[in-house]
Structure 1
Amino acid sequence: MTKTKHITKLTGTLMLAALLFTGCSSSEQEQQVVEQAISVKAVVVSTSDREIVSTYTGSLEGEHQAVLYSKLAEAVDSVWVREGDQVVADQVLLSLDRTGPSSSYRETESRYANAEKTYRKMERLFKEGAVSESDYDAAKTIFEVSQANFEAVSQLVEIRTPISGTVTSITVSPGDFVTIGKKLVTVATLNRVRVRFGVNSNEVQHIDVGDDIKISSEATDLPGYGRIETVASSADPLSRAFEAEALIDNTERLFSPGMFVRIHYVRNRLSSVVAIPRRSIVTIDRHETVFIVENGRAARRPVTLGADLSGDVVIESGINPGDTLVTLGQDYLDDGTLLTVTIISEQ
């Protein structure tokens, strides 16, 4: 019996030891799972000089530009120029049908010719003393009225440019019938182009005449540079925006009238600020938060945000130059998470 009790006691002891060993192994396995490191990318925080840039949109036109419209409902007879041609002031660009019913060109031309013929005859007779001064004056008046009418009708059928420049747009072809108010031709000077854009009331106080701007367009990879020429003193009643106007150097002919552009205006310059990618910020308990690396683990830091820098944001407080900031993988972290860190060179 004594031997049996001893064996039973030994067996119990071994079973207890086995359970304790199993419990320890399970605990160690759980500990290993919790301590599995999460891979993140990070940058070393530094200070830099940054710019706060406001971006607007607008379309370009020539510094001097003339858009010519039809004042008759008539057919197009001839187009004398092509887009890209250089033209001089008062040059005829296209002609409308002189024989059409709307132009009255032929009728007015005939009246003018007859009035001129009568006037020249009366002028000769008056010099010879064959007609009275009143008859001569009447013939002269009729001639001058007919001449003015003919010149007016000529201007309606002969579309002339009021400025010298480049033909940038032709919207009609010979044979097209145009209505009153139809856009026909645009002529512009292209050494400089003009852009107008609206500025809201919160930003208009930052913009001054003479300030530099930059423009960009999907039509060219190169930017353009210019200066603010005017800023409206009152807002447009419909858009509630203040119109600003700038002239852009275009000697390289990078830009054309009608082109859609973005206007970039530096409204403030910041010196030696901490700016980080906005994507590195997470919201925890309604607080803007980042994670930095401390002794191989994640450390949660609430931050105070400053100016928005179009993708980056200025940090007023919460992190310091020299901190290692997690910029990729922060969504999976908690305070104290073990990390595997890859340092990247740029934020």
Structure 2
Amino acid sequence: MGVQIGLWRVDDVPRRVVPAKMPLEQRLEDIIENDPTMLGSDVMIIGRQVVTAYGSRIDLLAVDIDGGLHILELKRDRTPRDVVAQVLDYGSWAQTLSDDAVREIYLKYCGTNDTRGFDEAFATHFGTESAPDALNTSHSLTVVAGEMDDATERLVNYLATGYNVPINVMFFDYYEDDGRSYLARTWMLDRNTSAATGTTATSTRRQPQWNGQDWYVNFGEELSRNWDDARKYGFVSAGGGKWYSRSLRQVPIGGRVFAYIPKVGYVGLGEVVGEAQPADEATLTVDGTAVPFRSLELLAEYRHTPTQPVPDEDYREWVLPVRWHKTVTRDSAFRKPGLFANQNSACNLRNQFTIDEVTGFFDQA
């Protein structure tokens, strides 16, 4: 059973403030919509009174920083047992939502047809560079209620602790005193246990399908690497350890490269025209002639000298030849909230928002 909250006014003689009845259930929706942090975690509301495929309505739908969905069913009075079946039905519908469907729900909520709205709003809300590659990788079910009968509590506890169903109940007490209104809340189940349940129960959803062509390449500029060289001679590179070079070496000939400088933005769009090779062995085609990489006039060293080398580690810089379609200087790099960014040297680019925005930028550059 949830923890019972008592509230006293202690200006002079202690006086207990008696819980009152919430005027309207809509008022409770308004409060949570305006400040979802009262749910105990940072979430972004993406829908209100969301109509499911079965004709029912979800009071509030939210997303967390990992892309997981949070389904909220609000009951200002004593909650009947059938609310459990109701939220389970919502969950069965929510787990089928694709990334595009989640974005469409947000667009309807915002009243805009701008398909870029979700990604930018997500990045702004959570302070990230982009939305996750995959949305709806998990979901949780939360009933917000003033009271709950014993049978309903038993059902929720049975499902959550016995079968790892990601369900919990947030109890609230509404108070009015001296012209002011207050809301206090507590949870039926320990939230750490509940959060772990939600993660393990529905985390098997696939990432968005990759188009088999587009690659994100992280061109980390430092003393050993310079973007001016890469623009001039046509290449990207990575090295300093197997972890850094391994992913770059997987990018195939014909792959389309989206070059990104960390904390700067997207600076190049091109096509891979050769296999990755160590800098000491690599050749690039310059003005129609094959030229050894080390014979070029380079601004950076493209070498790594670790202070404490590890045996059998590959510290070489690997060079991947690219025919650039368009490049820009660092100062003209393309950057905006919601664009994909990743610490890997290279990875499949699945984020359609980023693909559309970056290609659109370079089409006009």
Larger radius of gyration: 1
Is the TM-score greater than 0.5? no
Whose RCO is larger (CA < 8 A, sep 6+)? 1
Larger strand fraction of residues: 1
Give the alignment's TM-score, normalised by structure 2.
0.21
